[in-house]
Structure 1
Amino acid sequence: MLKLNKNDITLSQSATDKFEAIKSIAHSLTDKGLVEHGYVEGMLNRENQNSTFLGNGIAIPHGTTDTRSMVKTTGVAVHHFPQGVDWGDGNTVFVAIGIAAKSDEHLGILKQLTKVLGADGVEERLRNAKNEDEIIALLHGDVQLEADFDASLIQLMFPASDMLQMSAVAGGLLKNTGCADNEFVADLVTKQPTHLGNGLWLIGSDKHVTRTGVSFVSTANDCEYEGQKVRALVAFAACNNAHQSILKTLSNIVFNNEHGKLLDASVEQILALFKGEEVTAASSEEGNTAVFKIKNSHGLHARPGAMLVAEAKKFESTIRVANLDGDGKAVNAKSLMKVIALGVKHGHQLQFTAEGPDAPQALESIGNAIASGLGEG
């Protein structure tokens, strides 16, 4: 786990290009005693091999496997560029995190960073950060930018017979995941829900909420509330504005009369819909799933991760990947942030699912790329 302090961060930096920025970051790593002087060459070589731009105004420059022996102690140097640095390919970086790591220690750092930095609004917050504490809070994930919403907050086909039961279950899910407490649930069940049409309802409370979260409950029974059909309930626990993107998604569904996208969806489809990812129909075709073992000795760090994502992007099909040796949750295989956040180490098995006209070819090509070492031989 990455734990930053103020000494790790250098504010108000400027650079004419990414290579000047990398040299400055390497100097900080050296001054901190984390690496030997020649480590900068590895960082520059690494950048020439593949861009270390991660997304959302963030870059993670680091050395190659050849220079890993020059790392004395695992650590980071964070440079803040409020005016931005051109990182190539139209990408601008406002925060560059130089990483020095032995073995695969950096995978934990990358996994933490990608989960934090994948949220909408991070880029603007980092760019406008005024002090070290703001940057530390953002990189540690202490600033909530997205509402909590995962499979544990979804309950499909619950045998509820009335709205009170639906509200209690939705509130209980939010309580059980730490978003709120018992008093929140007690308040939620007294609220008047809003009908969004076609049996979809909305309810929420801001009482005794510690983290903003969303839950979704559908019922297996014929159920009505004030003469209107009840099929599903979306519940919000709100203590900030982190739920705005999900509210926008709901608004679009209602405006376009596309309630079925949500009411008839699987857990994975609901997650993708609320997270703004592409929603794919469940497929019964055989041959659209494959499992491959990662042979890279240091796992899927940034370079092989980028190679894997580049391979997936060659195909029209929607491709998702899950780390069977991790949490098993499938993510978009065409997103570098999502792939790195899987925390894939040597020997881990990845399950790929492809849906589309070139799905079999995509899986075969990805398998060949993994077998060839994803650019690492």
Structure 2
Amino acid sequence: MLKLDTSDITLSQAADNKFDAIKRIASSLTDKNLVQSGYVDGMLNRENQNSTFLGNGIAIPHGTTDTRNMVNTTGVAVHHFPQGVDWGDGNVAYVAIGIAAKSDEHLGILKQLTKVLSADGVEQRLRDAKSEQEIIALLNGDVQFEAEFDASLIQLQFPASDMVQMCAVAGSLLKNTGCAENAFVADIVTKSPTHLGKGLWLIGSDQHVLRTGLSFVSTINDCEYQGQKVHALIAFAACNNAHLDVLQRITELVFQQKQQSLIDANAKQLIALLKGEVVEHSSSDQSTDNIATFKIKNAHGLHARPGAMLVAEAKKFESNIRVANLDGDSKAVNAKSLMKVIALGVKHGHQLQFTAEGHDAAQALEAIGCAINSGLGEG
């Protein structure tokens, strides 16, 4: 895991172009005795091969595999460019993380940055950062951009007899996962929830909240509140604006009269619906003809360049394509998202399982297999 220190951060930098920025970063790596002086050539060559811009104002310049012998100690040098640096293709970097890696440690850094890279608002916060501590907090994911919501915050088919019990369970889920304190639960059970239609209800509080999150509770019982059916309750604990995106998705579903899609969903589907992800189908809904497994041959796994090549191949097809690292946590992600693919932490020899759904699914899997077997641009 990337452990940043204030000594790793250099504030208020400016550069005419990305190659000038890389030279400055390489100089910092050399000054820290992390690399030998010739490492800069590897960083420039890597950039010429493929852009190291990741997204959300972040670039990760690093050396080529043949310059790893010039790395003395694994480490990083982070430069902050408040005016931005043109990183090509219309991308602007406000923070560049120069990586000196003796092996594939940079894959761990990429995985750690995934949440930061996928969150809205990070780019502006990085640009406007005024201190080393602020940049460290942003890169470490300590600044919350997305509301907490996972399986631990979902309770389906609870035998509740009234709305007070529903609120108590929803509040307790948020308390038990560290989003709120005991007093939050006491506050939420005294409030009157809002009916969103079709038995779906909404409630929230900003009292005694530690981190913004939401919980979902459905009931197996036939109960009512104020003369209206109660099937499910969504509860918010809010201490910042991280919940607004989820609230917007709920609003859209209600406007489309799709409350039942939330009420009937299982835990995985709920998470996908409320986080704006692709709703996964059960394995029984998928044709085995559209599933394929390939072994990664790249010596250093799926770092930025081969990862980008894989994603580019997947994007050529209209089908929904998901990929899981069978040697990792086996969680399937969108194969057309570079950040999601890199976050899988794929190393040499790992097996990736692809599932494709759509009219060109078979062609997509065949093309992806050919790309992987040919080395994803690395021979």
TM-score greater than 0.5 by the shorter chain: yes
Deviation for aligned residue 1:235: 1.2
Is 2:349 the partner of 1:347?
yes
Give the 3-state SS of the residue equivalent to 1:141 in structure 2. coil
The one-letter amino acid paired with 1:252 is: E
Change in Cα spacing, 1:248 to 1:304, as seen in structure 2 (3 Å) is same
Change in Cα spacing, 1:218 to 1:367, as seen in structure 2 (3 Å) is farther
Larger displacement relative to structure 2 (294-303 or 47-56): 294-303
The residue aligned with 2:378 is 376
Larger displacement relative to structure 2 (224-233 or 148-157): 148-157
Q: Is the 8 A contact 1:280 1:318 kept in 2?
A: no
Give the 3-state SS of the residue equivalent to 1:319 in structure 2. strand
Deviation for aligned residue 1:80: 1.1
The residue aligned with 1:360 is 362
Q: Is the 8 A contact 2:268 2:280 kept in 1?
A: no
The residue aligned with 1:307 is 309
Larger displacement relative to structure 2 (46-55 or 359-368): 359-368
Deviation for aligned residue 1:156: 3.3
Change in Cα spacing, 1:224 to 1:56, as seen in structure 2 (3 Å) is same
Deviation for aligned residue 1:139: 0.9
For residues 174-189 of structure 1, the aligned pairs below 5 Å read 174-189=174-189
Deviation for aligned residue 1:280: 6.0
Deviation for aligned residue 1:38: 1.2
Q: How many residues align?
A: 377
Give the 3-state SS of the residue equivalent to 1:171 in structure 2. helix
Whole-angstrom CA distance in 2 between matches of 1:167 and 1:321: 37
Q: Is the 8 A contact 1:317 1:358 kept in 2?
A: yes
Note the alpha carbon deviations across 1:200-251, whole angstroms, 9 max, x for none. 1111222332211112222334332222122221111112221111111112
The residue aligned with 2:298 is 296
Give the 3-state SS of the residue equivalent to 1:287 in structure 2. helix
Q: Is the 8 A contact 1:117 1:139 kept in 2?
A: no
Change in Cα spacing, 1:174 to 1:368, as seen in structure 2 (3 Å) is farther
Change in Cα spacing, 1:84 to 1:119, as seen in structure 2 (3 Å) is same
Q: Is the 8 A contact 1:273 1:279 kept in 2?
A: yes
Whole-angstrom CA distance in 1 between matches of 2:152 and 2:372: 32
1:285 to 284, 287, 290: 287
Whole-angstrom CA distance in 2 between matches of 1:106 and 1:333: 20
Change in Cα spacing, 1:360 to 1:230, as seen in structure 2 (3 Å) is farther
Deviation for aligned residue 1:279: 4.1
The one-letter amino acid paired with 1:6 is: T
Whole-angstrom CA distance in 2 between matches of 1:126 and 1:178: 27
Whole-angstrom CA distance in 2 between matches of 1:251 and 1:40: 51
The residue aligned with 1:149 is 149
Q: Is the 8 A contact 2:80 2:95 kept in 1?
A: yes
Whole-angstrom CA distance in 2 between matches of 1:348 and 1:160: 46
Deviation for aligned residue 1:292: 2.8
Whole-angstrom CA distance in 1 between matches of 2:21 and 2:263: 49
Whole-angstrom CA distance in 2 between matches of 1:156 and 1:348: 35
Deviation for aligned residue 1:11: 1.4
TM-score w.r.t. the length of structure 1 is 0.93
Whole-angstrom CA distance in 2 between matches of 1:89 and 1:268: 36
For residues 20-31 of structure 1, the aligned pairs below 5 Å read 20-31=20-31
Whole-angstrom CA distance in 2 between matches of 1:12 and 1:217: 48
Give the 3-state SS of the residue equivalent to 2:288 in structure 1. coil
For residues 16-95 of structure 1, the aligned pairs below 5 Å read 16-95=16-95
TM-score w.r.t. the length of structure 2 is 0.93
Change in Cα spacing, 1:164 to 1:139, as seen in structure 2 (3 Å) is same
Q: Is the 8 A contact 1:280 1:355 kept in 2?
A: no
1:331 to 333, 344, 361: 333
Is 2:159 the partner of 1:132?
no
Runs of 5+ consecutive residues of structure 1 not aligned to the other structure: none
Deviation for aligned residue 1:281: 5.8
Deviation for aligned residue 1:192: 1.5
The residue aligned with 1:190 is 190
Q: Is the 8 A contact 2:78 2:98 kept in 1?
A: yes
Larger displacement relative to structure 2 (328-337 or 134-143): 328-337
Give the 3-state SS of the residue equivalent to 2:232 in structure 1. strand
The residue aligned with 2:163 is 163
Whole-angstrom CA distance in 2 between matches of 1:272 and 1:254: 16
Deviation for aligned residue 1:7: 1.6
Change in Cα spacing, 1:289 to 1:221, as seen in structure 2 (3 Å) is farther
Q: Is the 8 A contact 1:115 1:341 kept in 2?
A: no
Note the alpha carbon deviations across 1:258-297, whole angstroms, 9 max, x for none. 3244334343333233223344666343323333332323
The one-letter amino acid paired with 1:327 is: D
Q: Is the 8 A contact 1:269 1:280 kept in 2?
A: yes
Whole-angstrom CA distance in 2 between matches of 1:8 and 1:306: 27
Note the alpha carbon deviations across 1:292-326, whole angstroms, 9 max, x for none. 33232322211121111111111111122223333
Note the alpha carbon deviations across 1:63-97, whole angstroms, 9 max, x for none. 11111111111111111111111111111111111
Whole-angstrom CA distance in 2 between matches of 1:55 and 1:21: 17
The residue aligned with 1:226 is 226
The one-letter amino acid paired with 2:87 is: W
Deviation for aligned residue 1:167: 2.3
Is 2:300 the partner of 1:316?
no
Identity of aligned residues (%): 78
Whole-angstrom CA distance in 1 between matches of 2:269 and 2:352: 20
Change in Cα spacing, 1:233 to 1:139, as seen in structure 2 (3 Å) is same
Q: Is the 8 A contact 1:155 1:216 kept in 2?
A: yes
Whole-angstrom CA distance in 1 between matches of 2:157 and 2:21: 53
Larger displacement relative to structure 2 (164-173 or 101-110): 164-173
